[in-house]
Chain A
Amino acid sequence: MYRLQRDESDLAMMKAFEVSNEDFSSAGTASSKIKKILRQIGMDAGVIRRIAIATYEAEINVAIHSNGGHIEVYIKSDKVDIYVEDTGPGIADINLAMQKGYSTATKEIRELGFGAGMGLPNMEKCCDDFYIESVVDEYTAIKMTFNL
């Protein structure tokens, strides 16, 4: 489901990945594929690392907190836009969710090694421009921009 307006100006390549909420063991596949593509394009290693961290956190959030969604990567000559959209519970208090260490993850999820409450803050830290909107019981949508 598209929630955010796409900016297609100067678009060189777009790549979309489904993220399911069923299989935790495959969580991380989308971000590692994205990393490989960016490496092949020859992007700066530091930028690739920031994008990899941010998309990994986004992917995990979709997998553990939502009912599933997608990640879309828009590669342009001077920047990369990443859209992450899901359907699910949404986030009631975004300011609270953005705080370091805040997490509603269940005990089971913590036992799997997720739920440190650092995902959203890290995403914001890694990108140059961060936008998030959410409607409770409907969706969460995030746009991250990385300047090259």
Chain B
Amino acid sequence: MMVGEKMEKYWHSVILDNDYCNGCTNCLSRCPTQAIRVIDGKAKIMKERCIDCGECLKICHFHAKGTLSDGLEAIHQFKYKVAIPGISIYGQFPAEYDIEDVFQGIYKLGFDLVYDTAYAADVLTKFQNQLLKEPFIEKPIISTYCPAITRLIQIRYPSLIDNITRLESPMEVAARLVKKQLMEEKGLSFDEIGVFYISQCPATITSIKQPLGLEKSFIDGGISLESIYSKLLKIIVKGERLYPTVQKASGNGVGWGMVGGQSFGLDTEKYLAVDGIEEVIRVLDKMELGKLPEIDFFEGYACVTGCSGGVLNVENPFMAKARIRIKSAELPKYNPNLIDETIKREDLEWDVEMEPRSILKLDSDFKVALSKMSKLEELAQKLPGIDCGACGAPTCRALAEDIVMNRAAITDCLVLGKFNRRRQKKSKTEV
């Protein structure tokens, strides 16, 4: 269980289940921050490096990895229980269900209120458009919607941190709006209201526990959609409307459930929308080199198709994306004049400076780091360079780094002796 659990410096929600892990190396090379090692036949995650992108969960054939999330019972710790479903939920149910059927079903899981997170996206669109018009703003503006990408930037692209928008993600905005509303309208105290995110991915769950740029998240827990999906299917009754209507977002807001949705609502064509972490890395490399001067706004997603591809979702990512597109086109168009005028931009911003996460450093002392680097280079020369993964590190260079950092020994390389003998033989025959 997660609510009330004690915080560590680097908490993350992707977990490994030792019983299922058979020590294969599939996940090693998929990890964009090289956070996984296979030690004693089992995969281990270096927690300070994990950005919770979920890549390893997607590749694991043995279902050895999971996500730390809240169970439904966690909501009962609160007097007033609110559900804010991730926007991608719009694409998760067969077309025969109206999205309002689904929202009404969520009430029946025990919530006092269900709030349309896609409406928070509409609110954000209004302020993103304002930001784009500001003369001195650092461009391209980078969206914070996918927290895995924000953490990737903290680790691998610290010089781009200033480009990250100060506007929070829709789930955080939704939580703020709904708590404020309930405190005003129902006279509830802050702590009496429990806001639960119905989550599509571990990255968002981590952001509840360990928010970026915030002292504390306004969200109290994260429940994976996958874990309540079959229950929901059973209790949803088509056309039944027992509770207040939930759906209030425009087609634009709903579009945020897939890649490109955010940018679609902007008053500019100079945007770039990229899905899939490998492609995002390629684009951020270019951005860091200053090679994207024509771009004013960037949205990047760890998952292919955007949040429709989140690992805690149920539907096929491409099917889900198609449904979101269709739904988005059916709903009324976005109209900034319909956004609640009392909402101020300052209320939607993060407040703690976002720091670089310099965990790739070999040492905090520059001189020591330099000498470790020389050793690393020397070792990397010695190792075969075939990145086979048998040592448990994703690449030969990563093993060299582990050796320098006292996390491994050169004898962990199973290939080294053999490889050198073969190479010698070859060069003899060549002579």
Contact = CB atoms under 8 A, between A and B. Distances in A.
Contacts of B363: 42
B288 A49 contact: yes
A49 B284 CA distance: 12
A53 interface: yes
Given A13-B374, A49-B288, A42 B159 contact: no
B326 interface: no
B21 to A, nearest CB: 28
Nearest to B156: A39
A11 to B, nearest CB: 10
A130 to B, nearest CB: 18
A1 interface: no
A37 interface: yes
B244 interface: no
A39 B360 contact: yes
A120 B371 CA distance: 32
Given A13-B374, A48-B159, A40 B289 contact: no
A104 to B, nearest CB: 21
B49 to A, nearest CB: 13
A4 interface: no
Interface string A29-43: 000100001011111
Nearest to B374: A13
A41 B366 contact: yes
A48 B289 CA distance: 10
A13 B377 contact: yes
Interface residues of B, number: 24
B158 interface: yes
Contacts of B406: none
B116 to A, nearest CB: 39
A40 B288 contact: no
B361 A45 contact: no
A45 B361 CA distance: 12
A63 to B, nearest CB: 15
B370 interface: yes
Nearest to A47: B159
Interface in B364-399: 364, 366-367, 369-371, 373-374, 376-377
Interface residues of A, number: 21
Contact of A42 (B288, B364, B377, B401): B364
Nearest to B371: A12
Contacts of B290: 53, 122
Given A12-B370, A41-B370, A46 B362 contact: no
B285 interface: yes
Nearest to B373: A41
Interface in B150-195: 156, 158-159
Interface in B249-306: 285, 288-290
Contacts of A46: 159
A132 interface: no
A46 B161 CA distance: 11
A40 B371 contact: no
B366 A52 contact: no
Nearest to A113: B291
Interface string A107-148: 000000000000000100000000000000000000000000
A77 interface: yes
B393 to A, nearest CB: 15
Nearest to A50: B159
B23 interface: no
Given A42-B364, A45-B356, A13 B373 contact: yes
A15 B373 CA distance: 11
B159 A45 contact: yes
Given A12-B371, A40-B360, A42-B361, A77 B288 contact: no
Contacts of B156: 39
Given A45-B158, A49-B288, A52-B289, A40 B374 contact: no
9 contacts: A15-B377, A39-B358, A40-B360, A40-B362, A40-B376, A45-B158, A48-B159, A52-B289, A122-B290
Given A40-B360, A42-B366, A49-B288, 5 more contacts: A13-B377, A40-B373, A42-B363, A45-B356, A75-B370
Interface of B: 156, 158-159, 285, 288-290, 356, 358, 360-364, 366-367, 369-371, 373-374, 376-377, 401
Interface of A: 12-13, 15, 28, 32, 37, 39-43, 45-46, 48-49, 52-53, 56, 75, 77, 122
Closest CB pairs A-B (n = 5) = A42-B361, A45-B158, A49-B159, A12-B370, A45-B159
